[in-house]
Amino acid sequence: MEFTKSELRLIERLRKHDRQWRWTRWVMLAMGIFSIVDCVAFGYLTNGLIKEALDSPLNAKVAFLIMLFWTKCCLFFLFGIWCFATAWTKWHGDANRMLLLKLLDSQQKLA
């Protein structure tokens, strides 16, 4: 089987991703932990801000700031969950990529 130059580049990119996943999974796990811890800490601080805002005359401005930061915090929380899910499901590598690379290696050995 003969591959074109673009196909060979794609194969090398698959091999590179397979090698990089060994340390990338730890980075994904760390990003997930960092994002979720930040969201929990910000939620705790926001709870205190809400209690103080109820007594102050600047309720609208404080509510706007809380809403602005809370929406970003929720997005970071979803990002953290996505990082955990990706690291959990692909901890030992992507099965499709591994099978494809093994098939390509066995095909090259036969040729």
Domain coordinates of the chain in residue numbers? 5-110
Q: Between residues 11 and 62, which one has the greater pLDDT?
A: 11
pTM of structure:
0.74
Per-residue burial over 6-18, b if 16 or more Cβ lie within 10 Å, else e, is eeeeeeeebeeee
Q: Between residues 58 and 18, which one has the greater pLDDT?
A: 18
Q: How many residues does the chain have?
A: 111
Residue 111: per-residue pLDDT: 73
Taking the C-alpha atoms of residue 18 and residue 46, their distance in angstroms, rounded to an integer, is 41
Q: What are the φ/ψ torsions at residue 93 (nearest 5 degrees)?
A: 110, 165
> Cα Rg for the chain, rounded, in angstroms?
23
Under a CB-based contact definition with an 8 Å cutoff, are residues 29 and 87 in contact? yes
Label residue 80 exposed, middle or buried (CB < 10 Å: 0-12, 13-18, 19+).
Answer: buried
Convert the pLDDT of each residue in 41-100 to its tens digit: 888 888 777 777 666 666 777 777 777 888 888 898 999 999 999 999 999 988 889 999
Q: Which amino acid is at 105?
A: D
Under a CB-based contact definition with an 8 Å cutoff, are residues 77 and 36 in contact? yes
Q: How confident is the model at residue 37 (pLDDT cuts 50, 70, 90)?
A: very high
